[in-house]
Amino acid sequence: MTFDRIDMKALEEDLVRIRRDLHRHPETAWTEFRTTALIITELEKLGLPVEFGPAIHVPEKMFGMPSEAEMQACYERALGESDRPDLIEKMKGGFTGCITEIQGALPGPTVGIRVDIDCNDCDESDAQDHKPAAGGYASLHPHCMHACGHDAHTAIGIGTARILCAYRDVLPGKVILVFQPGEEGLRGAASLTATGRFSECDYFFGAHVGLKQLHVGAVAASSYGFLSSTKFDAVFHGLAAHAGAAPDMGCNAIGAASAAVVNMLAIARHHGGSSRINIGTFHGGTGRNVIPDTATLAIETRGVTNEINEYMEKSALRVLNGAAAMYGCTVETKFMGSAGSVVCDEELVDKTVKILAGVDGVDEIIRSADFGGGEDVTTMMQDVQAHGGQVTEMIIGMPLTAPHHNGLFDVDERVIGIGARVFASLALEVSHY
């Protein structure tokens, strides 16, 4: 579809500007205050209704929340960096993200489109061959970086809204456009999904830039190989003692955690398909000469099916309890987030392939590509399917300068315009096939 009502060159230039602003001001899961305020402001310019704050969340489903101190620090930082304190104040407590509806003039289906908005816990490279560093839009926030392309996703979502608003007179049905917080760690989708908001969708689309070494212009109409995943923390409790005078009177929590790390990594992999485990962080102890009484591990398990992930999770819990017992410690686990595997609907994939053939900038269509990881969008997709709707998750091609979640990761900004045209075309045309 050719969008001749819009100056696409000017639109793409403005979306790149927005992407770079977001890249410079990254915010991690549940702290996307400034990011959400920026999105709302852009949607308000289009005259769209925007829902945000506690109304779009189910609090008991908001998993993996940061500490109160971290939340407050990020909230205050956002207030200092935004000109919309009126919006940010309504998100206090982590109620980030937003949803808008674009009502078409023609009868038709309800189409859901989801983009994610959070960044990674990652420090950005300051190397001068890294474009954001050379261009002056590298992250201003320590240990926060858009190293997965969610800044581009957000810009794509805003671009989609702009295009669809220009074509509302020929838009069939309604589009629900969701800007989701907390994808990293698989935390944010559950809260939004639990409201039942996506159950009405007849069709539901998600997309991710990069992932595979596809060239700009290549688009995979669907994905497979979503890894079911569970995220949890394990906290070991031991007994502090003088490391020199009375080591026998202590119970070493770091020793227990260390034994757990080694043996979790040694869990036998499942014969039925891909399985993974990772221990991402390890914190513990209070001083060099003190038997450590606490240690905390951040753990994730993955499996190509829900059953394989469950096997990995149960095995990890068995190891954790055994390691704690070896050192006379106890261990408690805290659930932090999860997502399951999903299979895209072939009927919708057929329609997507046909529509992609007419999208400006798309020069290769791949029916399906291996996603090869976990994605929070699957929680929404499963809900849509459970209520009779059809779903797909696309991959928008982009060569990688560095792996995702790496300080040298960068986005080829040409994908932003392509992504916006793809989403808008699907919303406008899916009911025609």
Residue whose entry in the numeric block shows the structure tokens 């003190």: 290
Enter the tokens of residue 210.
């990069």
Which whole number is the average pLDDT over 369-381?
90
326 plus 367 within the same structural domain: no
Q: Which of 308, 338, 368 is the last residue of a domain?
A: 338
Res 172: pLDDT: 98
Q: What is the DSSP string of 16-84?
A: HHHHHHHHHS---TT--HHHHHHHHHHHHHTT--EEEGGGG--GGG--SPPPHHHHHHHHHHHHHH-S-
Q: Are 420 and 156 in contact (CB under 8 A)?
A: yes
Strands 294-303 and 228-237: antiparallel
- Containing 281, the helix (H) or strand (E) segment is strand 275-284
Residue 21 lies in a domain: yes
Res 75: pLDDT: 98
| CATH code of 265's domain | 3.30.70.360
Residue 93 CA, chain-centre distance (Å), reads 19
Q: Which of 338, 360, 388 is the last residue of a domain?
A: 338
Q: Which of 279, 307, 338 is the last residue of a domain?
A: 338
| pLDDT exceeds 90 at position 403 | yes
**CA-based end-to-end distance of the chain:** 14
**How many distinct structural domains can be found in the chain?**
2
| Apex 53 CA angle, 81 and 90, nearest 5 | 50
Note the pTM of the prediction, 2 decimals: 0.91
> Which range of residues forms the domain containing residue 248?
228-338
- Distance CA(369)–CA(358), nearest Å, equals 20
40 plus 126 within the same structural domain: yes
The rounded mean pLDDT for the chain is 96
169 plus 109 within the same structural domain: yes
Residue 2 lies in a domain: no
Residue 376 lies in a domain: yes
The region that residue 273 occupies, defined by phi over 0 for left and psi between -120 and 50 for alpha, beta otherwise, is: left
| CATH code of 426's domain | 3.40.630.10
Res 225: pLDDT: 86
Residue 1 lies in a domain: no
72 plus 117 within the same structural domain: yes
268 plus 376 within the same structural domain: no
Nearest to 179 by CA among 37, 345, 369: 37
258 plus 279 within the same structural domain: yes
The residue type at 17: R
Q: DSSP letter at 267?
A: P
Residue 286 CA, chain-centre distance (Å), reads 34
Give 49-81 pLDDT, tens digit per residue.
999 999 999 999 999 999 999 999 999 999 999
164 plus 75 within the same structural domain: yes
Q: Is 80 exposed, middle or buried (0-12, 13-18, 19+ CB in 10 A)?
A: exposed
Residue 30 lies in a domain: yes
Q: Is 128 exposed, middle or buried (0-12, 13-18, 19+ CB in 10 A)?
A: exposed
- Distance CA(14)–CA(6), nearest Å, equals 13
Q: Are 363 and 177 in contact (CB under 8 A)?
A: no
Res 151: pLDDT: 98
- Distance CA(130)–CA(127), nearest Å, equals 5
Read off φ and ψ for residue 167, nearest 5 degrees: -125, 30
- Distance CA(154)–CA(94), nearest Å, equals 18
| pLDDT exceeds 80 at position 1 | no
Give 225-244 pLDDT, tens digit per residue.
888 999 999 999 999 999 99
215 plus 271 within the same structural domain: no
- Distance CA(337)–CA(184), nearest Å, equals 9
281 plus 309 within the same structural domain: yes
Give 341-362 pLDDT, tens digit per residue.
899 999 999 999 999 999 999 9
235 plus 215 within the same structural domain: no
168 plus 293 within the same structural domain: no
Which whole number is the average pLDDT over 83-104?
97
Residue 192 lies in a domain: yes
- Distance CA(421)–CA(399), nearest Å, equals 19
- Containing 254, the helix (H) or strand (E) segment is helix 253-264
Res 61: pLDDT: 94
Residue 59 lies in a domain: yes
42 plus 174 within the same structural domain: yes
Q: Are 247 and 241 in contact (CB under 8 A)?
A: yes
Question: How many residues are there in the chain?
Answer: 433
Residue 235 lies in a domain: yes
CB-based burial, 337-349: b 16+ in 10 Å, e otherwise: bbbbbbebbeebb
